[in-house]
Structure formats: structure tokens, C-alpha cells
Amino acid sequence: MNCSLTRRERIRRRPEFKKVQQGGVRTRGRYVTIFSLNNGLDVARLGIIATRRLGGAVRRNRAKRCVREMFRHHKGRPGIDFVALLHPGASDVSFDAFEADFLHVLTRNAKTHL
């Protein structure tokens, strides 16, 4: 079974990232800030921003894999674009601590899209 995100579930182009960041709702957590915006589609989509401040390529890729895994399990409502901005230190914490922070931020963010 393939557990990867489909093409329709990913935000890949810079204008899409900017649209969500500038027009969306921002919710900040300890390790991640989530921007969300209604997309008018029947799927939830995810984009990830992992800057070099997070660390080298290995650390950035590990953190992005963790976010994708968390998103696969806790997508939330369809029809919303999510952009996850990772904070420095996100790659240094355990998966459980990162997931707890991600879910807390996602829950707080979802209250704005009722």
C-alpha cells in the first residue's frame, strides 16, 4: 500500500504557498506555524517550508518527512490548504513531542474554519 501524499494533496508552486501565507489564518506553535486557507477543492493539501535555519539537508528532510507522516494521519477537513513553516529545533525533538505540538496547532487552527 502506498502511503505517500498524492499530487492533489501537495502544494508545490510558490504562488500557491504565498497565497496561503498572505491570505490564510496563521497559528503558531513551538515547533511549527501552520497557515490555512480554504481551497475550494475536495481534498486537503499540504505545503512545507523548511529553511536552512532548521539545519542541514538531512535535518530538513527528516523534519519534512515527519510533517508529511503527521498530515497523512491527521488531515482534518477536506477543502483546506495547509502550509507548515518549521521552526529551528523542530528536527531535534522526538517524533512524539513534534506530533503533540503539530496536533495542538492543527486543532487550534481548525477552530477558525468552522
Domain span at residue 22? Answer: 11-113
Q: Does 5 reside within a domain?
A: no
Q: Does 97 reside within a domain?
A: yes
Residues 72-114 have pLDDT tens digits of 888 777 888 999 999 988 888 889 999 999 899 988 887 776 5
Q: Does 83 reside within a domain?
A: yes
How many domains does one find in the chain? Answer: 1
Q: What pTM was computed for the model? A: 0.88
- The CA distance from 98 to 1, in Å, is 25
- The CA distance from 61 to 104, in Å, is 22
The CATH number of whichever domain residue 27 belongs to comes to 3.30.230.10
Q: Taking all residues of the chain, what is their mean pLDDT, rounded to a whole number?
A: 88
Q: Does 48 reside within a domain?
A: yes
